Chain A
Amino acid sequence: MREDRSDMSEDDERASPSDLSLATEASSNKSRSCSVSGGGGGEYVSPYPDQVLENVLENVLLFLTSRHDRNAASLVCKSWYRVEALTRSEVFIGNCYAVSPRRVIERFGQVRSVTLKGKPRFADFNLMPPTWGANLTPWVTAMGESRCSLEKLHLKRMSVTDEDLKILAHSFPSFKELVLVCCDGFSTSGLAVIACKCRKLQVLDLTDDEVADDEVDWISCFPEGETCLESLIFDCIECPINFEALERLVARSPSLKKLSLNRYVSIAQLYHLMIQAPHLTHLGTGSFSPSEIVAPGDQELDYVSAFAASRSLVCLSGFREIIPDYLPVIYPVCPNLTCLNFSYANINAEQLRSVIRFCHKLQIFWVLDSVCDEGLQAVAATCKDLRELRVFPIDASEDSESPVTDVGFRAISEGCRKLQSILYFCQRMTNAAVIAMSKNCPDLVVFRLCIMGRHRPDHITGESMDEGFGAIVKNCKKLTRLAISGLLTDRAFNYIGQYGKLVRTLSVAFAGNSDMGLKYVLEGCPMLQKLEIRDSPFGDSGLLSGLHHYYNMRFLWMSACRLTRQGCKQIAQQMPRLVVEVINGDAEEEEKDDYVDILYMYRSLEEPRGDAPKFVTIL
């Protein structure tokens, strides 16, 4: 749960269409000022007025942290550009193929923290072969060779190998923070190297990664003696860990605040860890059930007191294999919780109610639809401060009987007026409920509704869901991220183009009638940065209507639509700074029919990437 990692979220702050021009500045600005700073020479030379200004600027810019502000500052003039580049320590790269490692390092020599995002989000759902790209290797190699003092690396949807981790561990002696989200390609061997070599490691955060099991006991690889660890998150690792080593590690990590265990840690083991670390603020509880072999003494463990002693706990997650009988032991921490993740906990309405009634301060809540509409009603009754809700399906298939419906949805809208972000999976929804939410929750910034059955209409009126989504874009004036579903015509897109003036991210699936739909959005939404569309009847003419805007976007994804190769080629020819990738989702080289399988295009300062696999054609 990324409530404190805003830079990793898909919802960027402000759009930066100026990124492209910034970098072209770089290529024209070859001369570096021969500043009189530092260095040898005993003579005192009176500094030029410009130099004074630069020194002042340098000191002032140190306080500028937001990358959007920095981008703006760097555009003022060459001098400001130069100084800004020298003082920027955090670099954010939203698309690893938009710029090369060399260019980044050349411009930002003092970089300490790098955030890199790789694959497009639809890759998470197996829509394209896993070997598409987004390899960390060129980045980590270039940074290693440049001898920059990298301290933090945040990656999302990148392919990371064990070799990459090895280079990382050996190249940066001050390395402090490794955050990997939705990454793959590495194993426990790679983790072992990080644990062993990064002596200053404070944060090791693995979320939703695919980590291969090399049977290496990486926990034991942390060096003996006190560690600097503040955060250790490994709930996604699908292999057993050495518990004794973990216990010793926690005991010698006095700064540890965040700990998230995987499902191989039993509740008894959790107990032993909790009493070693009562100052935790974030806890992922692991399996939350007893192991098969119950050790003597496990029966009498006082779990309630362990939780009661954890007075700093504000964020609770895990419950991977929960035995609901144990749920009451968390009661002592509930009144303090601001975030609770039950999205792996198969619990019913009553069981949820017993917990949620104490959670008055809850702001972020993730849950499974097993709790039904009644469960959501209980949430609505208590959690008046709720900002973010995610309801996941326990049975993620089109024909499932989803136990949450428009009823629970409406209840939430009526009880949680401060709602800012919602992700809701269901089968039955009505326009009325969506309209109600648009009026009850005007602060909505993120609205993602997934009606799982494709093309499903309003289940009471039988109409399309156009009006519901229309109301959302009309009434929620702060909306920046939208995901639509259900039966939708071009009218819905008309609404989005007309009212969605702040929308930056739009996800479309199985929606629309014609190219007009796509046109409405491309012509109407000036802030649009990320557009991902699948299985919708949009063709070349719709695609061409966005030419004026594509340089302002991070990417466009269109799969299983009606695009032809010709149409895509036209775009490529007219827009030299766009990389237009045509991808065969089946990893074959042959084109199956006339329509393009997947179009993925993005702006870039570089020549098209050289690491594209055979099933990718760059036009």
Chain B
Amino acid sequence: MEGGVVYESGLNLKATELRLGLPGTDESEKQTTFNIRNNKRPSPDTVEDCGSSGSSDDKHGGHETAPAAKAQVVGWPPIRSYRKNSFQAKKIEVETGIYVKVSMDGAPYLRKIDLKVYKGYPELLKALENMFKLTIGEYSEREGYKGSEYAPTYEDKDGDWMLVGDVPWDMFMSSCKRLRIMRGSEARGLGCSI
């Protein structure tokens, strides 16, 4: 059964497919574990013979193999990521991101995602499925995530645990504090029809 769901905006999922860079397929996982290493070492002949002329034009612009926007070199300047992130991460969080922790029953460690990255529930659920390698299935107002072993739940501002999908997406984004993917057996209570 398709589209028995009610969401705010009509979404053409294919058209809005986002490249999230979250670990999912092996390919993306390899990328994310080391996705900062975009530095293809400049081939030896681009490291020019600087010579003694030392002209006044700034040399550092001339060695890139990348076009106009200069590619950042990995590990340069030599500042530990922790320190770099201390100033960047906050900026990003405040200006653009809503980061929430995601836990899954039985998984040894938690993940963190940025809710702002998703346009709606389908993307979010897809991302969670990819992240934890499971199927959550489709939401129905009456039966929750029936048919799936797992149910995505979230803790809202009041500290209550809610089923993901019940409230409009925007309301969800502003009230969600953290996510928990519950085992089906525990979640059944939430999904039960009245």
Complex: A346 Cα to B84 Cα, angstroms: 13
A residues in contact with B58, CB < 8 Å: 453, 456-457
Q: A187-B109, A215-B110 are in contact. Are A127 and B75 (CB under 8 A)?
A: yes
Q: List 13 A-B contacts (CB under 8 A).
A: A126-B75, A343-B83, A396-B77, A397-B77, A398-B60, A452-B77, A457-B54, A464-B54, A507-B78, A513-B50, A560-B41, A560-B42, A585-B37
Query: Any chain B CB within 8 A of the CB of A210?
Result: yes
A321, A509, A586, A593: the one contacting B78 at CB < 8 Å is A509
Q: Could you tell me if A489 and B80 are in contact, using CB atoms closer than 8 angstroms?
A: no
Contact A214 B74 (CB under 8 A): no
Question: A343: which B residues are within 8 A, CB to CB?
Answer: 83
Tell me, rounded to whole Å, the shortest Cβ–Cβ distance linking A542 to chain B.
Answer: 13
Cross-chain contact B54 with A208 (CB below 8 angstroms): no
Kindly state the interface size class of chain B when it binds its partner: 35 or more
A124 proximal to B (CB < 8 A): yes
- B109 and A126 within 8 A (CB): no
Q: How many inter-chain contacts with C-beta < 8 Å in the A-B complex?
A: 124
Minimum CB distance partner of B52 in chain A: A489
- Measured in the bound complex, the distance between the Cα atoms of B172 and A374 in whole Å is 48
Q: Which A residues are in CB contact (< 8 Å) with B72?
A: 397-398
CA–CA, A456 and B90, complex, Å: 30
- Look across to chain B and name the residue whose beta carbon is closest to the beta carbon of A562: B44
Given contacts A126-B37, A215-B110, A450 and B50 within 8 Å (CB-CB): no
Residues of chain B within 8 A (CB-CB) of A393 are 77, 79
Q: Within 8 Å CB of B76, what residues of A?
A: 125, 398, 452, 454, 509-510
A401 lies within 8 A of chain B by Cβ:
no
**Which residues 504-546 of A have a CB within 8 angstroms of B?**
507, 509-510, 513, 534-537
- Is A433 on the interface with B (CB-CB < 8 A)? no
Which residues on A sit within 8 Å (CB–CB) of B110?
A: 213, 215
The answer to the question of B11 belonging to the interface, with a C-beta cut-off of 8 Å to chain A, is no
Q: What are the 9 A-B residue pairs with the smallest beta carbon separation, nearest first?
A: A125-B75, A462-B56, A396-B79, A560-B41, A455-B59, A463-B54, A452-B77, A454-B60, A455-B60
Q: Which of A122, A210, A425, A587 contacts B77 (CB 8 A)?
A: A425
For A458, the chain B residues whose CB sits under 8 A away are: 54
B residues less than 8 Å from A454 (CB atoms)? 60, 63, 73, 76
Residue of B44, B51, B77 with most partner-chain A CB within 10 A: B77
- Known A-B contacts: A398-B70, A455-B59, A513-B49. Give 5 more (CB < 8 A): A126-B37, A215-B110, A464-B54, A510-B47, A595-B44
Do B42 and A396 touch across chains, with their CB atoms under 8 A apart? Answer: no
Given A127-B74, A450-B77; A236-B82 close (CB under 8 Å): yes
CA distance A534 to B43 in the complex (A): 13
User: Which residues does B use to contact A, with CB under 8 Å?
Assistant: 30, 33-34, 36-37, 41-44, 47, 49-52, 54-60, 63, 70, 72-84, 86-87, 90, 109-110
Residue of A nearest to B59 (CB): A455
Contacts of B51 in A (CB 8 A): 489, 513
Cβ of A94 within 8 Å of any chain B Cβ, yes or no, is no
Which of A208, A397, A597 has a CB less than 8 Å from the CB of B41?
Answer: A597
Q: In the complex, A129 Cα to B35 Cα: how many Å?
A: 11
Residue interface mask A437-460, B partner, CB < 8 A = 1: 000000000000010111111100
Q: B140 to chain A: closest CB distance in Å?
A: 32
Using known A-B contacts A454-B63, A455-B50, determine if residue A321 contacts B90 with beta carbons closer than 8 Å: yes
A195 within 8 A of B: no
Whether A392 sits at the interface, judged by CB under 8 Å, is yes
Return chain A residues, CB-CB under 8 Å to B37: 126, 585-586
Instruction: Tell me the smallest distance from the CB of B47 to a CB of chain A, in Å.
Output: 5
Please judge, given known A-B contacts A212-B109, A562-B44, whether A126 and B81 are in contact too, CB under 8 Å.
Answer: yes
Question: Which residues in B have their C-beta under 8 angstroms from that of A129?
Answer: 33-34
Q: Tell me if B83 and A487 are in contact (CB < 8 A).
A: no
Q: Which residue of A lies closest to B108 (CB)?
A: A214
A358 touches B (CB below 8 Å): no
Q: Does A344 count as interface, using CB distance less than 8 angstroms?
A: yes
Contact between chains at B60 and A392 (CB < 8 Å): no
Whether A586 and B34, one on each chain, are in contact in the complex, defined by CB atoms closer than 8 angstroms, is yes
Distance from B76 Cβ to chain A, minimum over Cβ atoms (Å): 7
8 A Cβ contacts from A569-619 to B: 585-587, 593, 595, 597
Give Cα distance in the complex from A265 to B72, angstroms. Answer: 34
- Docked-complex contact A455 and B73, CB < 8 angstroms: no
Decide if A487 touches B59 in the complex (CB within 8 Å): yes
How far does the Cβ of A96 sit from chain B's closest Cβ, in whole Å?
20
Does A399 make an interface contact (CB < 8 A)?
yes
Residues from chain B with Cβ under 8 Å of A346 in the complex: 87
| A353 lies within 8 A of chain B by Cβ | no
CB closest residue in chain A, given B109: A212
Given the contacts A397-B72, A398-B60, A124 and B80 also touching, CB distance less than 8 Å: yes
Q: Taking CB as reference atom, which chain A residue is nearest B83?
A: A392
* Residues of B contacting A122 in the complex (Cβ-Cβ under 8 angstroms): 75, 78
Give the distance in Å from the alpha carbon of A461 to the alpha carbon of B109 in the complex: 55
Give Cα A455 to B55, complex, Å.
12
Give which listed residue, B30, B41, B49, B56, contacts A535 with CB less than 8 A: B41
CB contacts (< 8 Å) of A562 on chain B: these are: 44
Does the CB pair B47–A535 fall under 8 Å?
yes
* Smallest CB separation, A496 vs chain B (Å): 17
Closest approach, in angstroms, between the C-beta of B108 and any C-beta of chain A? 8
**Chain B: minimal CB distance from A120 (Å):** 12
Residues of chain A within 8 A of B78, CB atoms compared: 122, 124-125, 450, 507, 509
Do B81 and A392 touch (CB < 8 A)? no
With a cutoff of 8 Å between Cβ atoms, the chain A residues found around residue B83 in the complex are: 343-344, 392, 396
Q: How far is B187's CA from A554's CA once the two chains are assembled, in angstroms?
A: 57
In the complex, chain B residues whose CB is within 8 Å of the CB of A463? 54
Report the bound CA distance from A577 to B84 in whole Å.
38
Hey, which chain A residues are within 8 Å of B86, CB to CB? Answer: 320, 344
Contact of A163 with B by CB under 8 A: no
Whole-angstrom CA separation of A344 from B80 in the bound complex: 13
Q: Are B33 and A587 in contact (CB under 8 A)?
A: yes
Which listed residue (B42, B57, B59, B70) contacts A399, Cβ 8 A?
B70
Contact B36 A126 (CB under 8 A): yes
